[in-house]
Structure 1
Amino acid sequence: MHPTRKDFPQGFVFGAATAAYQIEGHRFGGAGPTHWDSFAKGPGNVVRAEDGATACDHYHRYEADLDLLREGGFDAYRFSTSWARVMPDGRTVNPEGLDFYDRLVDAVLERGLKPFQTLYHWELPSALADRGGWANRDTALAFADFSETISARIGDRVASTATINEPWCVAWLSHYLGHHAPGLRDIRAAARAMHHILLAHGLAVERLRGMGREELGIVLNFERAMPATEAPADAAAADIQDQIYNRWFLEAIAHGRYPEGALAGLAPHMPEGWQEDMALISQPLDWLGVNYYTRAMMQAAPDQPWPSVTAVEGPLPKTQMGWEIHPEGLHHFLLRARDALGAVPVYVTENGMARADTLEDGAVKDPERTAFIFDHLDAMRRAIADGVDLRGFFYWSLLDNYEWAFGYEKRFGLVHVDFETQARTPKSSFHALCAALAR
């Protein structure tokens, strides 16, 4: 039997998540250019060089999209507020941008949904990217100003605010591996971004606390690193991957420190005086967001630069992204969050799967996604039984959308989007989840 709403604690929040650049249509409403716009123009960076200029046109269609959540019996909508829409050059306010988020939050509330805001989901204004982006400490200071500006407009009506979405992606994936904007492969830039993105979080929390805001948190992404073989070298590879991907951010937030193995490689490249920021980074939070999708099988790669690791294909069934389906990893990280943060409540802020969905006879049948959702809900239920104060779950994503370097090719949505016509078609997984919420 699939889990239903009754299998979760009273008040448990069920929602769906989106992100501004991925759905809104960045060419509308006076938004400024972002480093994703220029990254997409580089050869081979993004599938078909696609960008978020139109995306799902949520900028004009948000009311109908929110109607889907209301009609489906969801409780909440997790969205992000684009820095480049609110401040096109990273500093100067765009009234149209503030007005849009004003209308959006009001529309969420009018439908009886709770608005869960994320301040930053990767659309850095190009003007700040020109000055070094997240490798520059000044970007963290500018982010605090943005946080105050948008919160002054909508912060009195949102149910909660997350500062940063997935700092590992903002920093390591984008500045060392080069897969996301700005597309660097530079350990010095990566080390600085790994620290400055957390500094931005700390500065924003400080600023919002000063405004009297409550329910402040951060969203970390976790990926379980497991050794590809029983060889000690592969166990060490999995450990250093875990330190860089997972522990760097969780331990900074929870304990004001960075793990020793990761720091050994990054310390020579860290900004001067970084230690003085750790108290600000580790100030108390009201909740933690856990994003979880998959695991990685790690192998030692001594012929490669530090950290000298590589991922190899694992044996489990995979999503359209090539990611292994491993619900046990979600249970693992929910317990890790409990152990690190104690009584701090947790939300699963993203969990979902990409699938090569097709629209046939006016419907999309995606039984694999339905199974994925309920298997992960079972993992959440087990974590609650193990003492995790889990308060809610947001499926990623409400809509098929712009999936960053994969363009419009990978479909994560509960709702199918025809990007030619913008027609929305709820998938069979949407109907299955809604039926579970109604019971």
Structure 2
Amino acid sequence: MPGRSRCARLLAVLVLLVAAGTALPAAADVRGTVRFPADFLWGVSTSGFQSEGSFPDSNWTRYVERKAGEVEDPYRDSVDFRHRYPGDIELARGLGVSVFRTSVEWARLEPRRGHRDPGAIAYYDDLVRRIRAAGMRPMLTLDHWVYPGWVADQGAWDDPRTQEDWLRHARFVVNRYKDMDVLWVTFNEASSYIYRELTHRPLDLGQVLTMQKALVKTHRAAYDMIHRIDPDAMVSSNIAYGTLLNGLFDAALFNEVTDKLDFLGVDYYYGANLENITAAHALTGELWKIDPAPEGLYYVLKQYHLRVPDLPLFIVENGMPTDNGKPRPDGYTRSDHLHDHVYWIQRAMAEGVPVMGYNYWSLTDNYEWGSYRPRFGLYTVDVLTDPSLTRRPTDAVPTYRSLIARRGVPSGYVPVRKPGWCSIGDPLGSCFGRPATPPAS
């Protein structure tokens, strides 16, 4: 009978899917990995607006002020990185990292059109100098979603002048730090940049398309400009991995600039699979309610390597938020999260994915675009309750230090978070296949 036939076919499919579910990436032990090479770039990430404090007029200071009744927390002086950066650089050095990522803020350097603030120049000069003196490479982001108030007044990315103004600013920064072995990032997460402007300015569809085209054009011009000034530098624009929306996210910039990248910067926070769709909490801002899917990073790295096989990959941001620093109800710790993600990076590298670096987001807690509640820091800071802004180490500090020293997870490591079935990052590979397990290194 047709009904029975359909049921039989459905049952056969379910049996196949259940069987495929047992053929997930083996989370057995470290034999499926390789040690990180000695020249692997371990790092930490942060950004100017989110951490500096004492911030001048900008689109984001205006958004926070205008939405005072809607944002959860006032900006205040964030974690005051602007005045505490020497100590924070020492914290990074103590981890053993070789890369320190931050942003050089246009709003701080050029608070009025054509006027560069000497104090801001001196601050960034000393910041970059100290990063280098601590044995780390600067990874400098030229645009982490923030632009000067006067740019907002002229229409931001709606106005074609902004592209030239941005490139003029970028040219100044690149010329100033061209001899500092900088890893350059043009735009941080273009898809998220557009989304934030869409929700905060706000933008209509025409403005969204105008901004997207402007970012693509400006990145392409910036890539060529940077290579003229700093020929041996590596340039990228890090992408935000967006699970079900990833195709849309990549259309923001990545799809149009693959020929203007020297490495692919990947930001991975959340994956999803058919056993875990908690990434939906990102839509409500309750980031701490998301159950991490560390194995998703493995699939993301594999997929992007297939798409751009000639480019090395760099995990520019990866981290886990907690709710105001409180332990997660499921007992999963920041240390567990770090161990698990490093394990899956090693698995990808063992299978030929050329990963050149990894940055933890972030060195300290900071202002998460309207709230201090999501805590991402290796060092936690109670901005709202601790006037001293003391940096307190989390359990991930000794873990990261050990991972760097040992060049990966210890022998016999078994991921705390078991891989879920059928990852959105690679449905075909994770639902019906299994990555080969290489011999022990």
TM-score bin (small chain):
0.7 to 0.9
Secondary structure in structure 1 of the residue aligned to 2:102: strand
Match of 2:262 in 1: 286
Letter matched to residue 155 of structure 2:
G
Contact 1:117 1:162 in 2 (8 A): yes
Contact 2:364 2:377 in 1 (8 A): yes
Give 2:393's match in structure 1, choosing from 426, 429, 436: 426
Q: Residues 5-50 of structure 1, C-alpha deviation per residue, up to 9 Å, x if partnerless?
A: 98212311111100001111134xxxx4111111112236753451
Alpha-carbon distance change, 9 to 348 in structure 1, aligned in 2, over 3 angstroms: same
Cα deviation, 1:385-417, whole Å, max 9, x if unaligned, reads 222211010000000001103x21111000011
Quote the residue 2:360 is aligned against. Answer: 395
Q: Would you say 1:9 and 2:30 are equivalent positions?
A: no
Matched, 1:202 2:225: no
One-letter identity of the residue aligned with 2:290: W
One-letter amino acid of the counterpart of residue 412, structure 1: F
Give the structure 1 partner of residue 376 of structure 2: 412
Query: Which residue identity is paired with 1:121?
Result: H
Q: Label 1:418 to 1:172 Cα distance change in 2 as closer, same or farther (>3 A).
A: closer
Distance change >3 Å, CA 194–CA 311, structure 1 → 2: farther
Question: Following TM superposition, by how much is the alpha carbon of 1:196 offset from its aligned partner in structure 2, in angstroms?
Answer: 1.2
Report the Cα offset of residue 223 of structure 1.
1.4
Aligned to 1:377: 342
Tell me what 2:3 maps to.
none
- Residues of 2 paired with 1:45 and 1:388: CA distance? 46
The equivalent of 1:263 in structure 2 is none
- Which whole-Å CA distance do the structure 2 matches of 1:221 and 1:428 have between them? 26
Contact 2:236 2:263 in 1 (8 A): yes
Instruction: Using the TM superposition, give the Cα deviation of residue 320 of structure 1 relative to its aligned residue in structure 2, in angstroms.
Output: 4.1
**Residues 293-308 of structure 1 correspond to what in structure 2 (within 5 A)?**
293-295=269-271
2:236/2:265 contact within 8 Å kept: yes
Q: Is the 8 A contact 2:34 2:346 kept in 1?
A: no
- Are 2:380 and 2:393, in contact at CA under 8 Å, matched by a contact in 1? yes
Deviation at 1:334, TM superposition (A): 1.5
The answer on 1:216 being equivalent to 2:235 is yes
Matched, 1:330 2:330: no
Go from structure 1 to structure 2 and tell me whether the alpha carbon gap of 1:136 and 1:330 turns closer, same or farther (over 3 Å shift). Answer: farther
Deviations 1:236-276 (A, max 9, x none): xxxxx33211344322122xxxxxxxxxxxxxxxxxxxxxx
The aligned amino acid for 2:207 is A
* CA distance in 1 between partners of 2:86 and 2:301 (Å): 33
Q: Which amino acid in the other structure matches residue 291 of structure 1?
A: D
The SS at the match of 2:365 is coil
**Aligned equivalent of 1:368:** 333
Which whole-Å CA distance do the structure 1 matches of 2:149 and 2:239 have between them?
24
Question: Aligned-pair distance for 1:335?
Answer: 2.0
CA shift in 2, pair 1:117/1:93, >3 Å = same
- Is 2:93 aligned against 1:126? no
Query: What are the within-5 Å matches in structure 2 for residues 309-348 of structure 1?
Result: 313=280, 320-348=287-315
Q: Residue 67 of structure 1 contacts residue 111 of structure 1 at CA under 8 Å; is this kept in 2?
A: yes
Residue matched to 2:86: 63
1:109 match: 132
SS at match of 1:41: helix
Query: 2:34 touches 2:347 (CA, 8 Å); kept in 1?
Result: no
Distance 2:240 2:36 in 1: 23
The 1-side partners of 2:279 and 2:310 are apart by 36
Instruction: Give the TM-score, by structure 2 length.
Output: 0.76
Task: After TM superposition, give the deviation of residue 432 of structure 1 in Å.
Answer: 1.5
* 1:97 corresponds to which of 120, 134, 137: 120
**Distance change (3 Å), C-alpha of 1:378 and 1:137:** farther
Residues of 1 paired with 2:263 and 2:398: CA distance?
29
**Contact between 1:401 and 1:408, CA under 8 Å: does it hold in 2?**
yes
For 2:71 and 2:110, the matched residues in 1 are separated by: 28
In structure 1, what is the equivalent of residue 24 of structure 2? Answer: none
Alpha-carbon deviations, 1:110-148, whole Å to 9, x = none?
111111111111111111111221233321221111111
Q: Deviations over 1:286-342 (max 9, x none)?
A: 2121001113689xxxxxxxxxxx99848xxx9844334122322222123212222
Residue 253, structure 1, aligned to residue 281, structure 2: no
- Report the residue type matching 1:47 in the other structure: V
The alignment covers a number of residue pairs equal to 365
Give the superposition deviation at 1:212: 3.2
The corresponding residue for 1:276 is none
Question: Root-mean-square deviation (CA), in Å?
Answer: 2.7
The structure having more radius of gyration, on CA atoms, is 2
Compute the displacement of 1:433 (Å): 1.4
Change (3 A) 1:398 1:90: farther
Identity of aligned residues (%): 26
User: Is 2:439 aligned against 1:435?
Assistant: no
Q: Give the one of 179, 187, 193 matched to 2:205.
A: 187
Say if 1:248 and 1:25 are closer, same or farther in 2 by CA, change over 3 A.
closer
Gaps of 5+ in 1: 226-240, 255-281, 299-309, 361-365
User: Which whole-Å CA distance do the structure 2 matches of 1:294 and 1:110 have between them?
Assistant: 34
- The corresponding residue for 1:19 is 47
3-state DSSP class of the match of 1:294?
coil
Contact 1:343–1:389 under 8 Å retained in 2? no
- The answer as to 2:63 corresponding to 1:39 is yes
Q: Which runs of 5+ in 2 are unaligned?
A: 1-28, 407-441
